[in-house]
Structure 1
Amino acid sequence: MIRKPTVLNLAQLVLRSWLFGLFLFATSAGAQEFPTQPITLLLPYPPGGSADFLARPMMAELQKKFGQPVVIEYKAGAGGTIATNALAHAKPDGYTVLMVLSAHAINPALYPSLPYDTMKDFAPVSLVARLPLLLVVKPSLPVHTVSELVAYAKANPGKLSYGSAGNGNTSHLSSEMFQKATDTKMVHVPYKGSGPVVVALLGGDIDLMFDSFSTSYPQVQNGKFRPIAVASAKRSALLPDTPTIAETVPDFVIDGWYGIIAPAGTPKPIIDKLNQTFNEVANIPSVKAQLNASGYDIVASTPEAFAKTIEKDLITWRKAVKESGAKIE
């Protein structure tokens, strides 16, 4: 027997529809008004690093677009996982976002257990930029090419030291992969971000490093660092005479990226507004020109495209970590 809906059932359906419509209206209205208070941009590394270099030229324009202060909060350490965990526990209202680097997709393969789920606990907002890694050495090291570096490392096993922006960072994993690909052995010295590791190489505390173009390029220009090669698929327009590593070590290519994520559950209209604003700001001619001059390639994307980038890199880096034998020390 088929029962006809009772008056109570019909009333419940009407009430649910009304409540759902009210929710959609409130969400849409909230997104139109957003933001009505300051926005916090978390950075997973200390001041002076590549994430900082990318965020700072955008700050004034972001504040103009949002009509609210945008405050940078540095939460360095543990390969970016401290800041990422903080975001996972932030209120999903769009007022706290995080700039993530490629390490965001590397960490699940490196850390035995993370206090968050990389895919489920976050809402991708936008890919912002790509930036090649630069292999640099201190000027006193008697090597000028990848071949010479490999030969020197093999003749002095375990004596060369390389710095990284932290355990599990792209600079760490790149160095591990380089050793694996060239059958060399060097000593790892981790720091809390690109800024401190740059200072260490300037002071001669380490011999070499893979570092983001933005933080090492100025030191190359003033003769403090010697560039050996770039880890990208093609040479950099800023250093056209510096070869790629792949020209000596076939298929050795490391792609670094930067993007914005929010806590999972952040309303879609707010995600879309954040996406639109970050994209617009990154592509303002003056901002873009300044970032391009530091080696950044602006590649703003949709939230969906950024999600696919993260998902793809989770697979790529898991394989790279396994093959390289890289471990958190």
Structure 2
Amino acid sequence: MTRLSQLTFSLLLGLIAMMGPSEQAKAQAFPEKPVRIIVQTAAGSSIDVAARILADNLTRRWNQQVIILNQPGAGGAIATRALASAPNDGYTLFFAASSVFVVLPELQKALAADVNSFVPIAFVGETPMAIAVSSKTPAKSLAELVALAKQTTGGLNVAVSTRGGLSHLSAEALRERAKMEMTFVHYPGTAQALTDVIADRVPVIVDSISAIVGPASGGQVRLLAVAGPSRLKSLPDIATASEALPGFEAMAWFALVAPKGTNADIVRQIGKDVDAVLQEPAVAKRLQELGAFPRPMSPEALQAFIEAQKKQWAPIVQRAGG
């Protein structure tokens, strides 16, 4: 090898060394340090519990600590801003509820660009909304509740958590579909709403089945219907809302997303690992006990799903004051 060739070869080696590992190699090595998952609710909420189930199992799979970072407030806006300002290296993720995508861009236009630019990673689970009443409310079915509301001057008061959230929007959709009068009583969270329904200060509540199933099993409230596409295997005696109101469905869901610009190979690697965790029988069972049902979905399919959900809920959001 000539002196010039040796010099050229050395320069090439130097350039390769400066370039460092390829993006694909980085994805294969991911993660090399702890990973943070932002959650938009306080510790102890059903969303938080589901996120911790995922985090615990990813910790074991990755041999790296996965840390939950609770950022509650402003209907998810605080958590949304936290992710938008995070590094796009895959080490900060967001366990986002459906309301972040279908409500926030309508209610807070300044957040629309951030939310729309998040990189979808994995669909974690979905949970049907549910309609329940206090134990002293006479209705024993959704059809009876609709009839009771129509017979009551001014309709019925309905407890919903978070103005503009999925609880509120589902109740608004129910009001429109059933043509029944309702007065929405807004609460900062589900726990406060349930407290008033259990005490019979408010007769009706619309919220996720994961929030209602516990009080219902304890006899504190009466579960009338779930707004999913079919009856739940865990609650076969509870009718779907569509049995009384054909076509009526309302589902909450949550997904894992990353900041804009996160490397595609890392996104796909995280997605594969999340899907693998969700397919573990013990994990699926724990989530189902919360009323959440995993459904594997590629990042591309998740993006299409999010867009479809935004179109479905946008008219309701706008009519509800979005």
TM-score bracket, normalised by the shorter chain, equals: 0.7 to 0.9
Letter in 1 for 2:203: D
Distance (Å, rounded) in 2 between the aligned partners of 1:99 and 1:196: 23
Residue 201 and residue 96 in structure 1: after superposition, are their counterparts in 2 closer, same or farther (change >3 A)?
farther
- Secondary structure at 1:313's aligned position in 2? helix
Q: 1:326 — aligned with what?
A: 320
Answer yes or no: is 1:290 the counterpart of 2:286: yes
Q: 1:137 — aligned with what?
A: 133
Q: 1:22 — aligned with what?
A: 19
Distance (Å, rounded) in 1 between the aligned partners of 2:247 and 2:201: 31
- Secondary structure at 1:83's aligned position in 2? helix
> 2:30 pairs with 34, 44, 62, which one?
34
Structure 1: segments with no counterpart, 5+ residues: 1-13
Any conservation in 1 of the 2:105–2:112 contact (CA below 8 Å)? no
Give 1:148 shift.
1.9
| Equivalences for residues 249-288 of structure 1 within 5 A | 249-288=245-284
Answer yes or no: is 1:238 the counterpart of 2:234: yes
Answer yes or no: is 1:126 the counterpart of 2:119: no
Stretch of structure 1 that moved more, 34-43 or 183-192: 183-192
Q: 1:189 — aligned with what?
A: 185
Distance (Å, rounded) in 2 between the aligned partners of 1:203 and 1:29: 58
> 1:82 pairs with 78, 83, 86, which one?
78
Letter in 2 for 1:49: S
Q: Provide the alpha-carbon RMSD of the alignment.
A: 2.5
Residue 173 and residue 157 in structure 1: after superposition, are their counterparts in 2 closer, same or farther (change >3 A)?
farther
| Equivalences for residues 69-218 of structure 1 within 5 A | 69-108=65-104, 110-111=106-107, 113-117=109-113, 120-158=116-154, 160-218=156-214
Superposed CA deviations along residues 50-69 of structure 1, whole A, max 9, x for unmatched, are: 21232232332111112222
- Secondary structure at 2:119's aligned position in 1? strand
Residue 39 and residue 189 in structure 1: after superposition, are their counterparts in 2 closer, same or farther (change >3 A)?
farther
Distance (Å, rounded) in 2 between the aligned partners of 1:114 and 1:227: 38
Letter in 1 for 2:197: L
Give 1:282 shift.
1.4
Give 1:205 shift.
4.3
Superposed CA deviations along residues 251-302 of structure 1, whole A, max 9, x for unmatched, are: 1111322111110111112111211221111111111122223332210211
- Secondary structure at 2:131's aligned position in 1? strand
Any conservation in 1 of the 2:229–2:240 contact (CA below 8 Å)? yes
Any conservation in 2 of the 1:76–1:192 contact (CA below 8 Å)? no
Distance (Å, rounded) in 2 between the aligned partners of 1:246 and 1:68: 44
Distance (Å, rounded) in 2 between the aligned partners of 1:65 and 1:71: 14
Superposed CA deviations along residues 84-115 of structure 1, whole A, max 9, x for unmatched, are: 22211211111111112221332156415232
Paired positions, count: 310
Any conservation in 1 of the 2:97–2:254 contact (CA below 8 Å)? yes
Distance (Å, rounded) in 2 between the aligned partners of 1:33 and 1:82: 31
Any conservation in 2 of the 1:246–1:252 contact (CA below 8 Å)? yes
> 1:229 pairs with 225, 237, 245, which one?
225
Letter in 2 for 1:249: L
Letter in 1 for 2:19: L
Give 1:118 shift.
5.6
Distance (Å, rounded) in 1 between the aligned partners of 2:111 and 2:210: 30
Any conservation in 2 of the 1:50–1:212 contact (CA below 8 Å)? no
Letter in 1 for 2:320: A
Give 1:154 shift.
2.4
Distance (Å, rounded) in 2 between the aligned partners of 1:151 and 1:190: 23
The percentage of aligned residue pairs carrying the same residue is: 29
Superposed CA deviations along residues 127-159 of structure 1, whole A, max 9, x for unmatched, are: 111211111111111211112212222233446
Q: 2:5 — aligned with what?
A: none
Answer yes or no: is 1:220 the counterpart of 2:216: yes
Q: 1:8 — aligned with what?
A: none
Structure 2: segments with no counterpart, 5+ residues: 1-10
